[in-house]
Amino acid sequence: MASVSVIASKEFSDIIRSKRFIILLSIFALLMIAAVASTYISATQGIAAPTAMPRGFLLSVASNLTSMMAYFAPILGIVLGVDAVSGEREKGTLKMVLAQPVFRDTFINGKFLGTVAAISLAVCIAFLVNVGGSIIALGITPTGDDAARLFLFLIISIIYAVAYYGIAILISTVSKKTTVSVIASIMIWAVFTFILPIIATMVVFSITPIRIQPGQNMTITPELREEIRRRITITETVNMFTPNYHFNRAANNILRAYIGAGFMPEGGATSGRPLQQAIRAVSIIESLAMVWPNILVIALIAVFTLIATYMLFVRQETR
């Protein structure tokens, strides 16, 4: 009887040898290289590369890395999950495999493990292309704290991709046709990535418009501070229903060693001078303390969707 490890090994081998996996990974590797070139151009415009990576360089690299991974991880998860079950069912291979001495739970668990391994490999390759390319291009050496933050970002990116894989394979298990699974998965991704942020922006501008005259300095007032706070709260409330928001918040905070401590005017809160961003340093422990709820939400999405897929797939045996 085939074991979970055997099925996982075969699934992993089939994925990494497939044309769509190679094409997708190649496209994003090229985009990562383009991001490295952008980082290099920005860094060489009057900024000399030191022997150790200062926060400005890490922030510059992280900005491109986060932006690219925010698109790469969901697309990777969706591509590997949309036909994981429905495609096997349409081709007739699912019936053939289950006709062998293979239990349904063994089969689906093997697919989970094999695909998660392939996702981890792809995310690691994209990550190394960007970070390694930036180090080579800029001639810099990350510090220990930088390396720890980048490693945490890598783990979060893998969980993020698995969350979208869980959504896609759940839809694939429910759907009888791959086309339906593809359309539904893309629609969900589009809603999370584009539609909800647009709705959040529209809601913010309709509820709390901030009117500033052209050429007018943005001076601190209690009313302005309250309006900014309300806008941020409303935007986060709408976007918190998407895994994209939680990933971006977690990634941005993990990769930043300095954060804005609030908007304060030069000379004090009552000086009437233009707003300045107050900056303070944060440790990696503080960063984790700020974003662990976001990481937990992404992980729960991945776990719940995979559990739901497992339960649905196993129960389909009696239908």
**pLDDT, tens only, 289-308:** 999 999 999 999 999 999 99
Regarding whether 46 and 132 lie in a shared domain, the answer is yes
> pLDDT value at position 269?
42
Determine, yes or no, domain membership for 205: no
Domain that holds residue 228: 210-285
Residues 138 and 240 both lie in one domain: no
The pLDDT, as a whole number, for residue 60 is 65
Mean pLDDT of the chain: 84
Structure confidence at residue 138 as a pLDDT band (50, 70, 90)? confident
Number of domains present in the structure of the chain? 2
pLDDT surpassing 50 at residue 268: no
Q: Residues of the chain with pLDDT > 90: what percent?
A: 52
Indicate the SS3 state at residue 88.
Answer: helix
**Cα–Cα nearest to 197, from 241, 160, 156, 229:** 241
Greater confidence (251 vs 54) lies with 251
Domain membership of residue 203 (yes or no) is no
- How far is the CA of 147 from the CAs of 29, 58, 118, 177, 247, in angstroms? 21, 10, 23, 44, 19
User: Do residues 233 and 94 share a domain?
Assistant: no
pLDDT of 136: 86
Tell me, what's the pLDDT at 211? 62
For residues 2 and 266, which has the higher predicted lDDT (pLDDT)? 2
Same-domain pairing of 47 and 120: yes
| pLDDT, tens digit (0-9, with 9 covering 90-100), for 184-209 | 999 999 999 999 999 988 888 888 76
Burial pattern 110-122, b for ≥16 Cβ within 10 A else e, equals bbbbbbbbbbbbb
| Residues above pLDDT 70, as percent of the chain | 82
270 versus 215: the higher-pLDDT residue is: 215
Strand partners, 259: 280
Beta-bridge partner residues of 279: 260
H/E element holding 274?
none
Q: How confident is the model at residue 53 (pLDDT cuts 50, 70, 90)?
A: very low
d(CA 80, CA 286): 35
CA angle 200, 205, 206 (to 5 degrees): 95
Residue 74 has pLDDT above 60, yes or no: yes
The answer on 164 and 34 residing in a single domain is: yes
Residue 208: per-residue pLDDT: 72
* Confidence tier at 267 by pLDDT (50, 70, 90): very low
**59, part of any domain:** yes
Residues 94 and 236 in one domain: no
C-alpha dihedral, 20 to 26 to 27 to 32, nearest 10°: 140
> If pLDDT is split at 50, 70 and 90, which confidence band does 48 have?
very low
Alpha-carbon radius of gyration of the chain: 23
Average pLDDT over residues 53-76: 78
146 and 111 housed in the same domain? yes
User: What does the pLDDT average to over 171-189?
Assistant: 94
> Residue 230: is its pLDDT beyond 50?
yes
Is 91 domain-assigned? yes
Q: Which amino acid is at 79?
A: V
Note whether 85 and 222 are same-domain residues. no
Is the domain of 277 the same as that of 310? no
Residue 1 has pLDDT above 80, yes or no: no
The pLDDT assigned to 213 comes to: 55
So what's the pLDDT on residue 260?
A: 54
Residue 82 is which amino acid? V
At position 209, the amino acid (one-letter code) is: P
pLDDT of residue 166: 98
CB 181 within 8 A of CB 230: no
**CA distances from residue 251 to 43, 160, 268, 269, 303 in whole angstroms, order as listed:** 21, 11, 32, 31, 20
Long-range Cβ pairs for the range 214-217 (8 Å, 24+): 217/273, 217/274
| Helical packing angle, 144-174 and 55-81, nearest 10° | 20
Instruction: Return the minimum-mean-pLDDT range out of 42-56, 116-130, 157-171, 281-295.
Output: 42-56
